[in-house]
Chains A and B, each alone.
Chain A
């Protein structure tokens, strides 16, 4: 029998393959090799992607503090994405978008750059995912919970599942996001909610007004 995780993976793969029929191949994680002092490079479809500032603290997995630059191998033109703390970089063969994932304590940030100009192409996605951040053109973030200290309740954010379309635009998947939220947390919702006993079979959604804590509730009370 198929596990829920496997089932979700199979469904997402089917969905992704349907949406990406017209695209050439999948988004692929670029593998960087050292090309000089403090410079690492990867190549894809006439472009050279350059990373600098490899982290010196021996952390695992590695991140690059930046810059992240793209050079056109025909014209020699070089542009800078102005991003930092880069954990992974993805591109598609003959694709027009390069995706750089910034990994910092505040979470993961997916940035979509025009591979010719380094300009931001789509709004940045902020999430909490795991490496590899993109699998079969699917981005899965969360769900995540901020457990309140010494309490069995937590403020949880629902899962967000995106599939990259033919233009590599992330398209939010409502049903898959809800399914994953239910599968992981035990309750389904969209956005942020207080949850009692998350990640257990006794998980329960708490009323929305308690999600910000006593202080915000008090402020709301006085503001009316």
Chain B
């Protein structure tokens, strides 16, 4: 895909945590727009969220494992958006062969089709998206395989 313009939709910011996350996403997106895991790592580093530098698949393994008790799974995409609104650092994750995909959920405001929250991501060999809804990050038939996690502390 060739360059995608940022979406113009304004998202109301609910608190300082959410504002910090969005600001960090905006800051690192250009440099990592073609690398989903690198983008997530760069934003996590800036926000002091502990996340080892690794590619998407092992990153998902890590945050879903016993060795990362500070990462909590979220049941639904709607809840993921709500946690993002509250200022939590939320990831949307899909394991896949050979490369998985990770995206940062930043807002639950006006989710597309009522279920897809907004976020930022990088895309391998292409250009990711800023403030896009998650149906542009994961295809419909894979939505049931996407898992959401949040870092336990608010930003």
Which A78-105 residues have C-beta < 8 A from chain B?
82-85, 87, 102-105
Cβ-based interface call for A18 (8 A): no
Q: Are the CB atoms of B138 and A84 closer together than 8 Å? A: no
Q: Chain A residues near B153: list those with CB within 8 A.
A: none
Residue of A nearest to B128 (CB): A105
Q: Are the CB atoms of B137 and A66 closer together than 8 Å? A: no
Say which residue of A87, A129, A214 sits within 8 Å of B52 (CB atoms).
A214
Q: Are the CB atoms of A107 and B123 closer together than 8 Å? A: yes
Say which residue of A84, A131, A144 sits within 8 Å of B99 (CB atoms).
A144
Q: How large is the interface on B (under 10, 10 to 19, 20 to 34, 35 or more residues)?
A: 35 or more
Q: Are the CB atoms of B96 and A126 closer together than 8 Å? A: yes
CB distance from B84 to the nearest CB of A (A): 16
Say which residue of B3, B5, B98, B137 sits within 8 Å of A106 (CB atoms).
B137
Which A113-141 residues have C-beta < 8 A from chain B?
126, 128-131
Expressed in whole angstroms, the Cα–Cα distance for A109 and B42 within the complex equals: 27
Q: How many contacts between A and B, using CB within 8 angstroms?
A: 135
Cβ-based interface call for B55 (8 A): yes
Q: Are the CB atoms of A213 and B58 closer together than 8 Å? A: yes
Which A47-88 residues have C-beta < 8 A from chain B?
57-61, 63, 65-66, 82-85, 87
**0/1 per residue, B12-47, Cβ < 8 Å to A?**
000000000000000000000001111001100100
Q: Chain A residues near B45: list those with CB within 8 A.
A: 149
Q: Chain B residues near A83: list those with CB within 8 A.
A: 139-141
Cβ-based interface call for B121 (8 A): yes
Q: Are the CB atoms of B98 and A102 closer together than 8 Å? A: no
Expressed in whole angstroms, the Cα–Cα distance for A142 and B125 within the complex equals: 7
Q: Chain B residues near A162: list those with CB within 8 A.
A: none
Cβ-based interface call for B7 (8 A): yes
Q: Are the CB atoms of A146 and B7 closer together than 8 Å? A: no
Q: Are the CB atoms of B135 and A65 closer together than 8 Å? A: yes
Q: Chain B residues near A57: list those with CB within 8 A.
A: 7-9, 132
Q: Chain B residues near A150: list those with CB within 8 A.
A: 53
Residue of B nearest to A59 (CB): B4
Assuming the A-B contacts A58-B5, A104-B137, A146-B37, are A213 and B125 also in contact, with contact meaning beta carbons closer than 8 angstroms in the complex? Answer: no
Which B37-75 residues have C-beta < 8 A from chain A?
37-38, 41-42, 45, 52-58, 61-62, 65, 67
Q: Are the CB atoms of B54 and A215 closer together than 8 Å? A: yes
Say which residue of B2, B5, B7, B65 sits within 8 Å of A131 (CB atoms).
B2
**0/1 per residue, B80-91, Cβ < 8 Å to A?**
000000000000
CB distance from A29 to the nearest CB of B (A): 15
Assuming the A-B contacts A105-B36, A148-B54, A157-B98, are A59 and B138 also in contact, with contact meaning beta carbons closer than 8 angstroms in the complex? Answer: no
Assuming the A-B contacts A60-B4, A146-B99, A215-B61, are A107 and B124 also in contact, with contact meaning beta carbons closer than 8 angstroms in the complex? Answer: yes
Cβ-based interface call for A112 (8 A): no
Residue of B nearest to A141 (CB): B125
Q: Are the CB atoms of B125 and A128 closer together than 8 Å? A: yes
A-B contact pairs, 16 of them (CB 8 A): A65-B135, A84-B141, A105-B103, A105-B121, A105-B128, A105-B129, A106-B100, A106-B101, A107-B125, A126-B97, A128-B99, A146-B99, A148-B38, A148-B54, A213-B52, A215-B61
Report the 3 A-B pairs with minimum CB-CB distance, sorted nearest first. Answer: A105-B137, A128-B125, A106-B101
Given contacts A106-B96, A149-B45, 19 further A-B contacts (CB under 8 A): A57-B7, A59-B7, A60-B4, A83-B140, A84-B140, A104-B136, A105-B128, A106-B123, A106-B138, A107-B123, A146-B55, A147-B35, A148-B54, A148-B55, A149-B38, A149-B53, A213-B55, A213-B58, A216-B61
